[in-house]
Amino acid sequence: MGPFVARRLLQMVPVLLGVSILTFALTNLLPGDPARAAAGRHANAEQLEAVRDRLGLDRPLPVQYAMYMGRLLQGDLGTSLTSKQAVAEELRLFFPATLELLLATMVIAVSVGIPLGVFTATRRGSWADRAFLGFSYFGVGMPVFFMALLLQIVFAGWLRVLPIAGRLGLETVPPPTFTGMYTVDALLVGQWTTLLDALRHLLLPALTLAMAGTSEVARITRRSMLQALDQEYVRTARAKGFPERTVWLRHALPNALLPTTTVIGLQVAFLLGGTVLIENLFSWGGLGTYAWTGIFRMDIPVIMGITLIATTVYLIVNLGVDLVYARLDPRIRYE
Amino acid sequence: MRSAAFWMHDRRLVAGILIVGLFAAMAAAPWLFTSLDPAVLNLEGRLTPPSPGHWLGTDSTGNDVYTRIVYGSRTTLGTVIAVLAIASLLGIAVGSISGSIGGWLDNLLMRTTDVFLAFPPLILALAINAVLGRGLRQTVFAVALLWWPAYARLVRGQILAVRRQEFVESARVIGASRFRIIRHMLPNVIDPVIVRLSLDAGFVALTAASLSYLGLGAQPPTPEWGRMVAEGQMFLLDQWWVAAFPGVVLFILVVGFNLIGEAVGDRQDLQTRGSTATVASPAKEK
């Protein structure tokens, strides 16, 4: 396992380099004055000059890139045009809320999607299977921002059972900060009412985001279960007289989970995009809301900061997926 | 070419074609579907509920929602076609060069696709679109830039699969130029590209609409469904029709595309299973 992890980490280096070159190119090479992009529309000539000097915009491009890399490695992602705060600092503040939302979404997608996929595969062609296939079109085709509106109308507007906005009720005092995720922090100090309130607020945005992921995970699990159930070893297992449940769960499922793992990793990329689309609607004070205001004000340093952090998260998740893969499938490790 | 009957017994395909065809008709001849103008200012008639005069009500500028939906199909379908055309042509060019020439160039091009694929899709599109500025053309460019690497890889893989086949060897033996050899190989790689196009159309529509929803894509008064949802969401509880109908329509179109994509994809699976279809190691497929 050790050499595999090392090799996999080494493979990330050129990709990370490429990612930084692309973001550098986006901010610095496109038509328009990068100094103006960094200083804002209302900067005067003196401020522009100062920014030009600080970013080294009069130097040759490779030097500029080296300076950019140097700043990135020191964790300097530039300054927000609107708040005048360091982007890295603001990202650190907003990140936990989004991480909480992502984790909750993944828990729903995996814990509903995998059993649903297994269930429908083992009852292929039944009404439940067909109903699920119909529903999965709904889950995959529904624009996530529209899904958010629908759920808000139903649960918050008509049924009035769930809060529509925010991470906690107005009367609830946030728990002491350890991780910045309210549910986890409340759990750590044992504030049960706060935990319950945070969970209630988490439910609607997480359900919204989980809709597409759950459908996708279930579809892939169903398909690969069906393929696995066609295999010779399943026939062998059945011939040996194992109960059907054992054949499904102990023989077919572990093999079927490989494609599911890939899909879960890919889903994280879509979720990161999804948070940008829905966080603002739910007044969820995370990266998505931060991105939304950044777009609204065309705050390029903020948008680039979010791009970099989202890409880093995605790369880490993919690394995790590959490690899980190597665990599930020994052939990969020894390749 | 397969006969029509071969395709038509798949109900998904029929349903998908009917849905997409309806919107294509709207885009091609919107005046057949509505006699109103999609962008006028009529403040007296703003936010009126659905009625015989305005089937789907009016929005906050007094425009007929149904008319804007009809004209919006132009924006959406036009975007999807432009994005897929740019992405697939660029992908075919890069992929065939990469696959047939090989060497360091192949390496460089493939590492470039790695970089593009390392970003979460919507986030990269959003960053490119924001740097280029608001507007539909910028959105088309941003989304196309997102999608070409998938085509480049697909085509490269196909080229690698056919380049040891006899007809390519013969072309090489008789001294055909590199360009000519690529031209001989291309028809053999086109089927998977078409399948991929049909599978991608729905996602492209969703991505472009998402960017417009965020305010980056089509600018008012251009009718665009994602933008219409964004404009309508502030009246959601009282004047629900402003946001609801464009959202539903976008959903229906995406489902239409996905139905076609799945039917075409399954057909391709059936045709290639056991012959050229190879099972790639999913850990490397990223």
| Residue of chain A whose alpha carbon sits nearest to that of B210 | A277
Question: Contact at 8 Å (CB) between A210 and A108?
Answer: yes
Confidence of residue B5 (pLDDT cuts 50, 70, 90): low
Residue B231 near residue B59, CB atoms below 8 Å: yes
What is the per-residue pLDDT for B237? Answer: 79
User: Is the confidence at residue B123, as pLDDT, over 90?
Assistant: yes
Does residue B197 register a pLDDT over 70? yes
Measured distance CA(A193)–CA(A23) in Å, rounded: 44
B283 to chain A, any CB pair closer than 8 A? The answer is yes
Dihedral sign (CA A304, A310, A313, A319): negative
Chain B nearest-CA distance from A188, in A, is 32
The total number of residues written for chain B in this structure: 286
Radius of gyration over alpha carbons of chain A, in Å?
24
User: Which sign does the torsion angle of CA A198, A201, A204, A210 carry?
Assistant: negative
Evaluate the omega torsion of the peptide bond into residue B192 and state whether it is cis, within 30 degrees of 0: no
Are A295 and B216 in contact by the 8 Å Cβ rule? The answer is: yes
Nearest to B215 among A153, A295, A307 (CB): A295
Between chains, do A14 and B111 touch, taking CB under 8 Å as contact?
A: yes
Whole-number pLDDT of residue B282 = 36
pLDDT of residue B284: 34
pLDDT at B271: 65
Q: Which of A26, A145, A325 sits opposite B131 (nearest CB)?
A: A26
Q: What's the average model confidence in pLDDT over B154-182?
A: 87
- Among the partner-chain residues A18, A141, A304, the one whose CB lies closest to the CB of B127 is A304
Q: Which of A27, A143, A259 sits opposite B209 (nearest CB)?
A: A143
Contact assignment for B258 to A26 by CB distance below 8 Å: no
Q: Pick the residue with more confidence: B5 or A112?
A: A112
Q: At what angle do helices B121-132 and A287-296 cross, to 10 degrees?
A: 20
pLDDT for B77 beyond 60: yes
The pLDDT of residue B33: 92
Using CA atoms, how far residue A208 sits from A105, A155, A271, in Å, is 9, 12, 10
Distance CA B165, CA B167 (A): 6
C-alpha to C-alpha distance for B67 and B77, rounded to whole angstroms:
16
Residue in B123, B215, B286 closest to A310 by CB: B123
Output DSSP code: residue A172.
P
Contact between A143 and B226 using a beta-carbon 8 Å cutoff: yes
Residue B72 has pLDDT above 70, yes or no: yes
Bridge partners, residue B64, by sequence: B58
> Out of A216-230, B139-153, B267-281, which region has the weakest mean confidence (pLDDT)?
B267-281
The ipTM is 0.89
Give CA–CA dist A307/B17, Å, rounded: 37
The predicted pLDDT at position A334 comes to: 58
List, as ranges, residues 73-102 from B with C-beta within 8 Å of A: none
For residue B250, which residues of chain A lie inside 8 Å, CB to CB? Answer: 143, 146
CA distance A277 to chain B (A): 7
Q: What percent of chain B has pLDDT over 90?
A: 56
Task: Tell me the pLDDT tens digit for each residue of A168-189.
Answer: 888 888 888 888 899 999 988 8
Q: With a cut of 70, which residues of chain A have pLDDT below it?
A: 1, 29-34, 37, 333-335
The confidence score (pLDDT) of residue A331 equals 76
Which tokens sit at A262? 């890939």
Q: Which residue in chain B is spatially nearest to A18 when comparing CA positions?
A: B115
Alpha helices in B119-135 (DSSP H): 121-132
Residue numbers in A near B269 (CB within 8 A)? none
Would you state the pLDDT for residue B7? 64
B247 CB neighbours in chain A (<8 A) are: 143, 146, 149-150
Binding-face residues of B in 112-171 toward A, CB within 8 A: 112, 114-116, 118-124, 126-128, 130-134
> Cα A210–B122–B21 angle (5° rounding)?
85
Do residues B77 and B24 make contact, with C-beta atoms less than 8 angstroms apart?
A: yes
Nearest CA in chain B to A331: B281
Distance from CA of B105 to the nearest CA of A (A): 16
- Amino acid B34: pLDDT: 86
Which member of A296, A300, A306 has the closest CB to residue B123? A306
CA distance B168 to chain A (A): 32
d(CA A35, CA A47): 9
Q: Which DSSP category does A84 fall into?
A: -
Which amino acid type is present at position A159? L
What's the confidence (pLDDT) of residue B286? 32
pLDDT digits (tens, 9 = 90+) for A10-58: 888 888 899 999 998 888 766 666 677 677 777 788 888 887 787 777 7
Check pLDDT > 90 for residue B43.
no
Q: Is the model's pLDDT at B42 over the cut of 90?
A: no
Distance CA A215, CA A116 (A): 9
Reported as a pLDDT band with limits 50, 70 and 90, residue B249 is: very high
Segment B67-80 mean pLDDT = 95
* B131/A14 Cβ within 8 A: no
Q: What does residue A159 show for φ and ψ, rounded to 5 degrees?
A: -80, -25
Instruction: Report the alpha-carbon angle A184-A179-A306, nearest 5.
Output: 115
